[in-house]
Every structure is written in structure tokens, then in C-alpha cells.
Homo-oligomer: A and B are copies of this chain.
Amino acid sequence: MTSIDDVARATGVSTATVSRALRGLANVSEPTRLRVQAKADELGYVASLTASGLATGRTLTMGVVVPSVSRWFYTTVLEGIDVVLRAANYDLMLYNLASRSGDRERVFHRSILRKRTDALIALCMEFTEPEREQLLSLGHPALVIGGPVKGMRHIGIDERGAGRTATEHLIELGHTAIAHLGGDDDEGMNRRVPLTRRLGYRDAMGSAGLPVRNEWMLSGRFSLAISRAVVTELLRRPGERPTAIVANSDEMAIGAILAAADCGISVPSQLSVVGVDNHDLAVSFGLTTIAQDPYEQGRLAASMLLDELGGAPARKSSVRAPSSLLVRTSTAPPVRR
């Protein structure tokens, strides 16, 4: 590999000058810069990030911790982060802290804490107290997107409000028999998000004096297929059927819509469905949902951290990302009997 010395030798200037010239610093004469650049190109020289990282203390890398990479929300946030990083010439180190918790400690020590990154974004992760301390002691800017984590600032929508608004929408349409499709997430992720959304559902039901039926509290585990199965089972039960379902995510809501189709139950006339997210597929299914914009959340998070790395004062407080009810065609008043 050609090093800076090779370029310096070939050009007949010092390595200091080569370094300055290539980085576009001010105090280099134009002719020199051109000569250096020409030689560097000719030799195919590219500065080693490892070396300059050691010298400058900056890695030009941002770490992103995700619980999984197979969910729309995460990948969309990731793309938002990515686009900002690329514009700033930053790289993205992906830490996929999947469900198996055994790896977590290793990843923490061997990777995250090894000064490989200048800043860190965590998506919907839960952290143990020691983990959090270690993160903070690293001393570089960090941020959580999705679920709030005690002691760390975060970016996220009003989860409880989302659950409440979705439910209120159905209540306003006249529904009283409203099921909830929630369900815990995988291990290691932030369980608070689904719980909080469900809390919002309970809020709305309570305020309206409507009963929350235990047998109508379903778990779709954030999966379309599982939700489809679970809701199919619900719809086929003998006895009273709910006229509406509040789902904790669009993927689950779509599962519910498909389940209805499987059972010959028409949406929205016989069953209304609301989700949360505004997933890519939501429009195709006419899904009414609490829309949020994870791409924008990712962009915001990355920008904030980059600004702070650039010397801007860190904002201590969390940021509430916007979300709003988006009515499509999966919700309607219940049929009178």
C-alpha cells in the first residue's frame, strides 16, 4: 500500500505538505497542491483512516445499534441516518444486537467501547445500568431513537398519545367493541414502546367508559404473519366479535386486514383497523394509521450528533417527533345490527 511517505518522496515535498495539500488546508501554494494531488492520484494513494484517526482522535464513524434489521421502522431510520452521514463523509458502523442476549456484553466491550466511533445512536434498545454507565463514560455524544431510556435523551413520538389517538378515532366513529393487537417485542429491545401504546389504548377506553376485555388483548409480536394468524383465530371465535382493532404497528394491522379477508369479513364495514407507523405498504392497504416519519427521525438524530461533534452545544433534552392520525379507508363507523 502506498503511504504518505511515498507521495512525499515522489513529489519532493515533506509529508506535512502532502497532508495539508490533500486535505485542502489553506497554507499550501496552488502549484504544490496540484503536483501533490497529481502524484497521489497517480500512485492511488488514499490516506489511512486508522492512522489519521489515531493522530486526530476522530474516527469519522458513527455507531448505530439496532435490535434487528428486518423491520421497516429500523431500516427506515437507518436510511435516514445514512443519508446524513454520507453527506458529512461519515461512515456507519452497524451493531446488530439481535435477540440473543449472550452476545451483548461481548459486543459492548469488544466493539462499542473500543473507541471506534465518534458518536452513537441506539434504536429502541434497552440498556442495563452498567451498560448505560459505560456508554456515558465513553464520553461521546449518544442518542436513543424510539423508546425512551432512563438517563439518555431520545427522539421519538408520543407513544401513549399514539395509542390514545388511534383508539379515540374508533370511538368517535361509534365503536365500542375494540380489540387491541399488541404484544411484546423480542428480547433486548425496548419493551416500553408497545406497553406505552397499549396504555394509550386503555386511556381512551377508560375515558369513554368502555370495557377492556382481556380476551381481546392480542399479541402479534410485531409480525404480519403472526398477527394474521392471531386475528384469524379471534374472528373465528364464537360469541361477540369486536368491530374494530387497534394495532401497535402497521405490519400487525395489515396482518389483521388480511385475517379479515381470510375470514370473509369486510374491512371497514364489518371490521375497522388502525395501525401505527405509516408503513410503506399502508397506502396500498388503505390503512388508517398514526403516521410517523422514522426516516426524518434518523436524519435528525444524525444531524444532532454531527453538530455536536462539530462543536455545537449538546441539547440535553429529548425531542418529540411528530405523529398524526392519517385516515384512510380501513376505518368506518360500525354496522348497526
How far, in Å, is A54 (CB) from chain B's closest CB? Answer: 5
CB contact between A69 and one of B79, B103, B114 (< 8 Å): that residue: B79
Contact across chains for B281 and A114 when beta carbons are under 8 A apart: no
- 28 A-B pairs with C-beta separation under 8 A: A46-B109, A48-B114, A48-B115, A49-B114, A50-B115, A50-B116, A54-B54, A61-B116, A69-B69, A69-B75, A69-B78, A69-B82, A70-B75, A70-B76, A75-B75, A82-B98, A86-B106, A86-B107, A89-B106, A89-B110, A91-B116, A92-B94, A93-B93, A225-B280, A225-B283, A229-B284, A258-B284, A261-B261
Chain A interfacial residues counted at CB < 8 A: 53
> Does A134 touch B at the CB level, under 8 Å?
yes
A281→B54 contact, CB < 8 A: no
A137 interfacial contact with B, CB 8 Å: yes
With the chains together, A228 CA to B1 CA distance in Å? 51
A46 touching B114 by the CB < 8 A rule?
yes
Question: Which residues of the other chain, B, contact A69 by a CB distance below 8 angstroms?
Answer: 69, 75, 78-79, 82
Contact with B along A49-90 (1 / 0, CB 8 A): 111011000010100000001101001101100110010010
Asked if A113 is at the interface of the complex by the 8 Å CB criterion, the answer is yes
